[in-house]
């Protein structure tokens, strides 16, 4: 299907995806599956959170499956129940189409969307209470290309949510925090699913630093003050304008501090996701 030698492969793939996204789904039994897409900047702690949160949920006797959607993942801290790498091989794409790693990842993400029915079939065969879906570190692959929003809409007819991971050590700097807010808002605009914010790696920051970031997320004035106090150039002024612009959208960035190392905050995360997915019901069939 993909004759990629002329560099037009990605457009071809996108067209294929567009066609498949308008197709009606095959008739058949549909199982209720809640899906949580874990999205965030590279290295923000998505995979380790998927590992620790899935363990936590299993310990409370919830039936969880893990879906790995990162075709470029090499080592993962969990055993995926359904794995995009079973459907698409980055190394093969690089070799066959003479692509670099990024081109191959883009192509792989688009090809993965063509295998949505098979992956959904694997999930439905098990019928979990819900699915934790780990997404690529290159956030644009899942959130901003055509395949990601298609995938997130079509993988389940039931409730879905995005768990956006904010790296706490990275977010200590208010400029970094604003960049992350902007990205998070852009992800919401593309995926349009309820979005929950986990402030990750809290074991690596002090309580004071943590309180400050949580405050910035809730109160724009505090964030503006922090940016104004940032020494330097016009960068912080631009960041302030960006923060105000994001705030004016009305999006709420309440964050839940968590650590995948100590398991701190996982109870609160569960409660928040439960509310987002079910309006307060237990996450059980
Ligand atoms: P990509 O898929 O490459 O974008 O990474 P990711 O977002 O899945 O992050 P990952 O879970 O691989 O974590 C990145 C690094 O941070 C790893 O070295 C983890 O061990 C570390 N890490 C993740 N969560 C925590 C945490 O809660 N505490 C500490 N101390 N380290 C963490």
Residue 29 CB contacts under 8 Å (≥ 6 apart), including other chains:
124
Q: In angstroms, what is the span from residue 212 Cα to ligand 1's centroid? A: 22
Q: In angstroms, what is the span from residue 201 Cα to ligand 1's centroid? A: 8
pLDDT of 147 strictly over 90:
no
Q: Does residue 11 have its Cβ closer than 6 Å to ligand 1?
A: no
pLDDT tens readout for residues 88-129: 999 999 999 999 999 999 999 889 989 999 999 999 999 898
DSSP per-residue string spanning 31-67: ---EEEEEEESTTSSHHHHHHHHHHHHHHTT--EEEE
Nearest atom in ligand 1 to 204's CA: 30
pLDDT of 18 strictly over 70:
no
What does the pLDDT read at residue 38?
Answer: 97
Q: Ligand 1 pocket: which of 139, 260, 262, 266 to mutate (most atoms <8 Å of CB)?
A: 260
* The two three-digit tokens of residue 20, written as one number: 């498949």
Q: Does residue 52 have its Cβ closer than 6 Å to ligand 1?
A: no
pLDDT tens readout for residues 34-67: 899 999 999 999 999 999 999 999 999 899 999 9
In the chain, which ranges are E strands? 34-40, 64-68, 82-83, 130-134, 160-167, 195-200, 255-257
Q: In angstroms, what is the span from residue 194 Cα to ligand 1's centroid? A: 23
Closest Cα to atom 32 of ligand 1 = 201
DSSP H or E segment with residue 152: helix 147-154
Q: In angstroms, what is the span from residue 261 Cα to ligand 1's centroid? A: 9
DSSP per-residue string spanning 66-109: EEE--TT----SS--SEEGGGT--HHHHHHHHT--HHHHHHHHH
3-state class of 221 per DSSP?
helix
Q: In angstroms, what is the span from residue 7 Cα to ligand 1's centroid? A: 34
Q: Does residue 259 have its Cβ closer than 6 Å to ligand 1?
A: yes
DSSP conformational letter for 27:
P
Nearest Cα to 121, choosing from 5, 11, 25, 263? 25
pLDDT class for 75, splitting at 50, 70, 90? very high
Q: Ligand 1 pocket: which of 41, 45, 163, 169 to mutate (most atoms <8 Å of CB)?
A: 45
CA–CA distance, 138 with 13 (Å, rounded to integer)? 19
3-state class of 256 per DSSP?
strand
Q: Does residue 190 have its Cβ closer than 6 Å to ligand 1?
A: no
End-to-end CA distance of the chain: 39
What does the pLDDT read at residue 278?
Answer: 79
Nearest atom in ligand 1 to 260's CA: 27
pLDDT class for 9, splitting at 50, 70, 90? very low
Q: In angstroms, what is the span from residue 44 Cα to ligand 1's centroid? A: 6
More confident residue, 273 or 16: 273
What does the pLDDT read at residue 31?
Answer: 54
CB-count burial class (<10 Å; 0-12, 13-18, 19+) for 87? middle
Q: Does residue 46 have its Cβ closer than 6 Å to ligand 1?
A: yes
pLDDT of 15 strictly over 90:
no
Nearest Cα to 259, choosing from 169, 136, 132, 134? 169
CA–CA distance, 17 with 9 (Å, rounded to integer)? 12
Percentage of residues in the chain having pLDDT higher than 90: 61
Q: Ligand 1 pocket: which of 39, 40, 47, 167 to mutate (most atoms <8 Å of CB)?
A: 47
pLDDT class for 233, splitting at 50, 70, 90? low
Q: Does residue 201 have its Cβ closer than 6 Å to ligand 1?
A: yes
CATH number of 32-278: 3.40.50.300
CA–CA distance, 36 with 274 (Å, rounded to integer)? 10
Q: Does residue 99 have its Cβ closer than 6 Å to ligand 1?
A: no
- Could you identify the residue written with the tokens 């979005």? 195
More confident residue, 247 or 168: 168
């Amino acid at each position: 299907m993909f004759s990629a030698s002329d560099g037009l492969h990605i457009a071809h793939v996108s067209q294929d995806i567009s066609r498949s996204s308008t197709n009606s789904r095959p008739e058949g039994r549909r199982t209720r599956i809640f899906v949580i897409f874990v999205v965030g900047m590279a290295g923000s702690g998505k995979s380790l959170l998927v590992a620790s949160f899935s363990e936590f949920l299993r310990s409370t006797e919830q039936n969880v499956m893990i879906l790995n959607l990162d075709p470029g993942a090499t080592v993962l801290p969990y055993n995926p129940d359904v794995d995009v790498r079973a459907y698409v091989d980055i190394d093969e794409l690089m070799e066959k189409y003479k692509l670099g790693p990024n081109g191959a990842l883009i192509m792989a993400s688009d090809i993965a969307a063509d295998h949505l029915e098979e992956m959904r079939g694997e999930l439905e065969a098990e019928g979990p209470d819900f699915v934790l879906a780990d997404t690529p570190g290159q956030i644009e692959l899942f959130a901003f290309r055509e395949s990601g929003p298609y995938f997130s809409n079509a993988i389940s007819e039931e409730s879905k949510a995005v768990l956006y991971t904010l790296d706490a050590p990275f977010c200590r700097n208010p400029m970094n925090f604003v960049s992350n807010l902007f990205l998070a808002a852009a992800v919401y605009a593309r995926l349009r699913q309820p979005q929950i914010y986990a402030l990750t790696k809290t074991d690596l920051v002090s309580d004071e630093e943590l309180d400050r970031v949580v405050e910035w997320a809730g109160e724009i004035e505090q964030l503006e003050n922090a940016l104004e106090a940032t020494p330097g150039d016009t960068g912080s002024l631009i960041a302030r304008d960006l923060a105000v612009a994001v705030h004016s959208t009305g999006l709420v960035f309440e964050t839940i501090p968590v650590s995948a190392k100590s398991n701190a905050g996982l109870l609160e995360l569960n409660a928040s996701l439960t509310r987002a997915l079910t309006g307060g019901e237990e996450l059980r069939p």
